[in-house]
Chain A
Amino acid sequence: MVRWYTNVPQDPDGIPSYAHDVEFQSIRCWHNPALLGRVLKCFSRVKILTICETGVPPDEVRKIVSSGKFGRDITSLTFISPVSTVPTLMSLALSLPNLRELMIDSVVQVKPPAPTPPDKTWQGGPLESLELASLWSKELEFIALCEVASRRVDLSVGNVSIEKVIAGSSETMRELTLQGTCFLWNSVSRERF
């Protein structure tokens, strides 16, 4: 495997189209928001896309999704501390017809999640893996409304909305991992007379 790094904002055209595994790292703010869409279009064969501590502007995602030409080969999508909102991230995820693995960890919100349900729900079969970590209740509820089911569900989130996410995968889920969620359950001892 060959790995190299490029400064995307300064050299947006210096990207090989044949890259299969792409990670955006620490581009918290795009001075030119249109650059994200332009760069993503260069990766016509990407299969694994990771966006880490990088801005994902909603308007650009809207353009990318509406073009209908992006991400046909993407099977794995990972967001780690993206500067965005869950609705924006899910909009991108739902546009990927061959997505098999989705991970969202610690969204850095630029604004609170919209209370409205998603425009679109997941139309594909169950994912192989859905990993969610450090998300707020409303963010989990939004993901649940997207009707994403998965065979493997890994939750490391501290609010009761995990039950809605689990319910969405109740028929398909084979593996369930709960990490650090135990304070969601409480027990009360009492005496029976």
Chain B
Amino acid sequence: MVPVNVYHPMVHLPPLPALTSVKLEIRSGTLSLRLVDILSCIRSVPALSSVAFKYPKMSGVEAIHASSQWIDVDKSLARLAMEVKSERSLVVVLTPWLEGNLSWEKYLPEFRRAGGELRVGHGI
């Protein structure tokens, strides 16, 4: 028996061929679940160059570990990185405090293998 997360998005986004930048401000809930829920809805984005996350610092962040949710975040980001048709790779922008607390590079291996980059920004 293999635990699998099945996502049933209430929002169905169309292909977004001109989209270059996505900014997500997540105000509540489990970060990994929220990320993968939204990322799984975004598809057909050949021009995408950056995905930025913002999350409230004081509300506490789940410990990042090799949970199935984080594996799905990794897979979703890897899928988006592979969809990119431009020469520049997809960049995920993290807020500095988030990057400092979490070992993102360790837990997003597929995204890195797909050519994705992690950077620290100053929010959105």
Contacts and interface: CB of A to CB of B under 8 A. Distances in A.
Contact of A182 (B5, B14, B27, B68): B27
25 contacts: A151-B18, A160-B11, A170-B16, A171-B18, A172-B18, A174-B47, A175-B23, A176-B19, A176-B22, A177-B25, A177-B124, A180-B27, A182-B29, A185-B38, A186-B9, A186-B10, A186-B37, A187-B5, A187-B6, A187-B7, A187-B37, A188-B8, A189-B5, A191-B3, A193-B1
Interface of B: 1-29, 33-34, 36-38, 41, 47, 68, 124
Nearest to B25: A179
Interface string A157-174: 000101100110011111
A177 B3 contact: no
Closest 5 CB pairs of A and B: A185-B37, A179-B25, A177-B23, A182-B34, A192-B4
Given A175-B21, A177-B23, A192-B1, 18 more contacts: A170-B14, A170-B15, A172-B18, A173-B18, A173-B19, A174-B18, A174-B20, A174-B21, A175-B20, A176-B16, A176-B23, A177-B24, A178-B25, A179-B27, A186-B10, A189-B4, A190-B4, A192-B4
A1 interface: no
Contact of A166 (B10, B14, B68, B124): B14
A177 B19 CA distance: 11
Interface size class of chain A, counting residues whose CB lies under 8 Å from the partner chain = 20 to 34
Nearest to A179: B25
A190 B6 contact: yes
Contacts of B13: 163, 166-167
Given A163-B13, A176-B23, A177-B124, A188 B18 contact: no
B47 to A, nearest CB: 8
A188 B11 contact: no
B24 A178 contact: yes
Contacts of B5: 187-189
